[in-house]
Amino acid sequence: MFFADNSYLYYIPFILQGICAIHCIRNGHQQKWLWVIIVLPVIGCIAYLYSEVISGRRMRQPNIDVKAMLNPGVKYKRLEEQLRFSDTFANRIKLADAYLQGGFTQQAIELYEASLTGAFEENEHVLQQLIVAYTQSERYDDAIATAKKIYKLPQFIRSRSHILYAIALEKTGNIAQAETEFKLMKGRYSYFEQRYEYALFLSRNDRSADAADILADMLEEQQHLTPVERKSNRKWFNYAGAELKKLHSKKIA
């Protein structure tokens, strides 16, 4: 009965914490790691095992930013101070990227836009990040205008920016043009994220049968890929399977 309800799993974090703490003390890492293991039982133990045991780097400082883990605001303040000290393009983009990742989209947009000057006026990374930020802010016309600046780059067709460009076209009522862009990202045994997003587009536009066909093709192709290819695209196959079940459920209902 003890194992039947998996109650023993409750003790695993504490056992792991104890093992890491003992190893830490025996190897003289108390000042570097002990409080991290105590404050962050699971995350701290994983970081300790990787840095000090698996990687064998026992003479190095912890390879994690503990303050940033406990208080994400520390990361922004550090980057803001760095920018105030040295107002360079690289420092502005580091802060803007951090803002965007943290959900401070408007602050990120302001920094990105201010950085598009001089030699950096057509910087690909900044333009791609702006497409993401504009889409998150539902500024679809701006996302479209920005995407057009890098549309002809060879790498654009496979990028996340291309997907967002197609979605922005859909959101602004350009359904046919949006589908044209999605079709450019459609190919067998590849473009799995793009094809998943295309299926969602079709589903949103009352073409569930077409969406189901794309998802089913993705799942059928999965078994023919190499293990590395399956692993790298596992998320999209999982999403495709869940969405396909949802479409089948709607059909039955």
* Residue whose structure tokens are 């067709």: 157
The pLDDT of residue 205: 96
Q: Is the entire prediction scored with pTM above 0.85?
A: no
Q: Report yes or no: 81 and 73 within 8 Å, Cβ to Cβ.
A: no
Q: Is the pLDDT assigned to residue 13 strictly greater than 90?
A: no
d(CA 150, CA 64): 35
Average pLDDT over residues 130-146: 98
The pLDDT of residue 2: 42
d(CA 152, CA 166): 15
The pLDDT of residue 39: 72
Q: Tell me the average pLDDT of the chain.
A: 85
The pLDDT of residue 20: 75
The pLDDT of residue 76: 80
Query: Which of 220 and 51 is assigned the larger pLDDT?
Result: 220
Rounded percentage of the chain residues whose pLDDT exceeds 70: 80
Phi-psi region for residue 87, left (φ > 0), alpha (ψ -120 to 50) or beta? Answer: beta
The pLDDT of residue 8: 58
Q: Report yes or no: 34 and 24 within 8 Å, Cβ to Cβ.
A: yes
Q: Report yes or no: 164 and 135 within 8 Å, Cβ to Cβ.
A: yes
Query: Which of 6 and 159 is assigned the larger pLDDT?
Result: 159
* Displacement of CA 220 from its chain's centroid (Å): 25
Angle at 175 between CA 171 and CA 181, to 5 degrees: 95
Indicate the range of 28-32, 43-47, 87-91, 111-115 predicted with least confidence. 28-32
Average pLDDT over residues 146-172: 96
Q: Is the pLDDT assigned to residue 61 strictly greater than 50?
A: no
The pLDDT of residue 248: 85
pLDDT-derived band at 3, boundaries 50, 70, 90: very low
d(CA 40, CA 76): 21
Q: Is the pLDDT assigned to residue 128 strictly greater than 60?
A: yes
* Residue whose structure tokens are 């504009």: 134
Q: How many CB atoms lie within 10 A of CB 243?
A: 19
The pLDDT of residue 1: 43
Beta-carbon contacts of residue 140 (< 8 Å; ≥ 6 apart)? 134, 168, 171, 172
pLDDT-derived band at 157, boundaries 50, 70, 90: very high
Indicate the range of 51-55, 166-170, 175-179 predicted with least confidence. 51-55
Query: Which of 250 and 81 is assigned the larger pLDDT?
Result: 81
